[in-house]
Amino acid sequence: MADVPGIDQVHRSLRDNYPGAQYHFVQFLSEHLVDCTRVFEGDLTRMVVLAILGQALLGAHRAPGDAGPRRSMTASRIADVSGLDRETVRRKLKALAARGWISQNADRSWEIAAGRDGETRVRQDLAGLDGRGLERLARLYVALRPICEKA
């Protein structure tokens, strides 16, 4: 398992209480995927590409300074991370750029487009999805917490 304190214990509790844990996880996942499918008009591949770029930005914010991860990625790197073919990734990147959600840098890498007042346009446009996702995540946490604390 990962080098996170307590993860082995939590994993054991989830495994030992599989039916309840899996029920809550699948409930969360299916609700979220249905919501994403609606918001992205059935194009979950576009959502995956955006999510990978979003993680790069969030990772850069979590590790400030020059030693932190890059906030941009090349199409080839996104293809490698996602398992999608490069041409599909390029098409999705162009579609996301057309919405003003991402931009391409001089080095041909892509990143979440900067917005006004420190908030990106994509975050503004997806605020409803984001809020519903956080509410679902809170419900998942509350449902799984007693199972995880049994460890």
Say which residues have a Cβ less than 8 Å from residue 87's Cβ, sequence separation at least 6: none
Spell out the domains of the chain, with CATH numbers in brackets: 7-148 (1.10.10.10)
Start-end of H helices in 99-126: 121-125
pLDDT for the residue numbered 66: 58
- Residue 95 near residue 87 (C-beta atoms within 8 A): no
Amino acid type, 20: G
Give 1-46 pLDDT, tens digit per residue: 456 778 899 999 999 999 999 999 999 999 999 999 999 999 999 9
pLDDT of residue 1: 46
Q: How confident is the model at residue 117 (pLDDT cuts 50, 70, 90)?
A: confident
With a CB cutoff of 8 Å and minimum separation 6, the contacts of 76 are: 86
